[in-house]
Amino acid sequence: MSGLDELDRPGTPESPGAGGAVGAVGAVGTPGTQGAAAGAGARAGAGAGPEGQRPTASRRGAADPVKALMHRHRELCERAVDPLEIAAGLEAHGVTDRTAARFRHRDVFSLAEEMYARVPRDGEAPPPAAAAPAPRPRLDRALLTLLPGVLCAAAVTGVRLTHGRTCLLVAAAGVLAVTLALRAVLRRGPLSPHRGAHPGPHRTDAWTCWLLGYAALGDSLLRAAVAGGPDGLPDGTADGPWPFAAAPLLTLTLACAPAAWSAHLLAVRARRRLDTSRGLEEFAASVQPLVLGTFALFLCALAALTPLSAEVLGEPAAYGHTLALGALLFLARLLTVHGFTQVPAVALGAAGAAEMLAPATVFASRLPGCGFLATPVEGLVAASGPAGVPSLVCGAAALTLLVHATRTLTRASAHAPTDQPC
């Protein structure tokens, strides 16, 4: 291609390309304008005198045209991670092989390589990436987490104040309302699973319902069973033959709010640690106390709520059972939120099955020749009351989950932002 030679030759005569008909590819213009076209690098480097009269020697003689080019594209050069990135950027700015020839390079690639090699790298670490914006606490979400507790309180009050058919209707409406509110809390906000987390085959809904049901009716059932009952179906009152304990339910639904806030706190703090950690070990070491602290915070809140709701409802406060169950559910949810679904499902299932087994053994012991079946449960009930069984079961499950959580929630991948661009 003749144009390249023409462009490179100093002192090209006036308007070379105006001659032939076909094949006139190449430079049309004066040397001065060619100089301008050579890239603003040359322009910036040797910017003395008007373009037309600039001597060709100054274009060449500007000791270092590449330096001027680098100055013009300094941002590109500084952020480039390899020479090809500079080459792509230069081409996007209209630098062609012909321009590169002006810098005494065969093509854009070798020009880019020189530029990449010459970028000063003073060895100082780049500034840490700007901290990712943490999920903002939102007032509506915070109020939403209070909703299950409020609805539960209202339902319990309604059941206490009404009788007969109305009472049943109120109870049904209350259960429905609380369920819907719980779903709303668990589907958005800090207690919702990360986007992209695999829901998998591990469903925990049924076991969770069973555990909650046991919290309300199980202790009295066990007491009655050990004593030879029960003598009737539960009637929703605290003084019937199969009394209904509303305080644990109220406590746990109220605890949705501290649970959500704790989870939010954990997410925000962990994200902050993530941004400042240099290595995975360091991150794990710094997050472990955070996980334990979050759990302790929630436990404190639960411990404060337990006597409160017991006082309001006029029932005895079942600390052991409520705290153990609350801890179990909180940890299970926390693990699920961060994408670990299998172990919580197993733990909840095991706890539920154990609680199912306890009254079952008592009933089974009434069969002839099976009296030995009830011995462990009866011993436990005699030692620590009927609440001892679920406390033990839930406590053990919660402890397992806590150990698991301190190992898995300290992983960086558990806190990875999942909504990354594709």
Partner 1 sequence: MRIGLLTEGGYPYLSGDAGLWCDRLVRGLEQHEFDVYALSRAEHQEEAGWAELPPQVRRVRTAPLWTAADDGVAYGRRARRRFAESYGELVTALCEGEPPGPPDLEGPPGTVPAAQADRFATALYGLAELAHDEGGLVGALRSEDAVRSLERACRAPGALRTAREARVPELLAVAAHLERALRPLSLDWYGDECGDGGEGLDAVDLCHATSGGAAALPGLLARHFFDVPLLVTEYGVRLRTHYLSSGTGPSAAGPGSAPSAEAAPAVRALVAAFHGRLAAEVYRQAACVTPGNTHARRWQERCGADRAKLRTVYPGMEASRFAEVGDSLDTADPHTLVWVGRVEPAKDLVSLLHAFSELRRQEPRTRLRIIGAPAGAEGEAYLGHCKVLAAQLFPDEADGPHAVGDNPVSFEEIGGPEAPTLAEAYAAGAVVVLSSVVEGFPVGLVEAMFCGRATVSTDVGAVVEVIGGTGLVVPPRNPRALAEACVALLRDPGRRARLGAAARARALELFTVEQNITAFHGIYLELVARAPMRRFLFDDGDPRPFAVPAEACLPEHRPGPDPRVTPRHGPGWAAEPPARDTSPIAATEGAR
**Where in 282-341 is the site for partner 1 (CB under 8 A)?**
282-283
Which residue, among 219, 419, 246, 407, has the nearest Cα to 331 in the 3D structure?
A: 407
Minimum Å gap between C-beta 85 and partner 1 is 5
Q: Could you give the string, one character per residue 3-42, with x where binding to partner 1 holds by CB under 8 A and - elsewhere? A: x---x-------x-xx--xxxxxxxxxx--xx-xxx----
Site for partner 1 in 223-282 (CB under 8 A): 271, 274-275, 277-280, 282
Site membership for partner 1, residue 150 (CB under 8 A):
no
Site membership for partner 1, residue 416 (CB under 8 A):
yes
For 143, 215, 306, the CA distances from 326, given in Å and listed in that order, are: 20, 10, 10
Site membership for partner 1, residue 91 (CB under 8 A):
yes
Site for partner 1 in 340-369 (CB under 8 A): 342
The HSE-up count of residue 194 (CA atoms within 13 Å, CB side) is 23
Which span (78-86, 223-231, 242-250, 395-403) binds partner 1, by CB under 8 A?
78-86
Cβ-proximal residues to 131 (8 Å cutoff; 6+ apart), any chain: 272, 275
For 228, 329, 368, 371, 410, the CA distances from 363, given in Å and listed in that order, are: 9, 28, 11, 9, 44
Single out the residue of 9, 55, 67, 88 in contact with partner 1 (rule: CB under 8 A).
88
In angstroms, rounded to a whole number, what is the distance separating the alpha carbons of residues 283 and 291?
12
Packing angle of the helix pair 256-276, 139-161 (nearest 10 deg): 160
Site membership for partner 1, residue 79 (CB under 8 A):
yes
In angstroms, rounded to a whole number, what is the distance separating the alpha carbons of residues 98 and 3?
9
Which residues of 95-254 form beta strands (DSSP E)? none
Site for partner 1 in 383-412 (CB under 8 A): 411-412
For tokens 């003084």, the residue is 239
Single out the residue of 48, 81, 117, 233 in contact with partner 1 (rule: CB under 8 A).
81
Q: For partner 1, give the closer residue by CB, 6 or 315.
A: 6
Site for partner 1 in 189-218 (CB under 8 A): 198, 200-201
Count of residues interacting with partner 1 (CB under 8 A)? 71
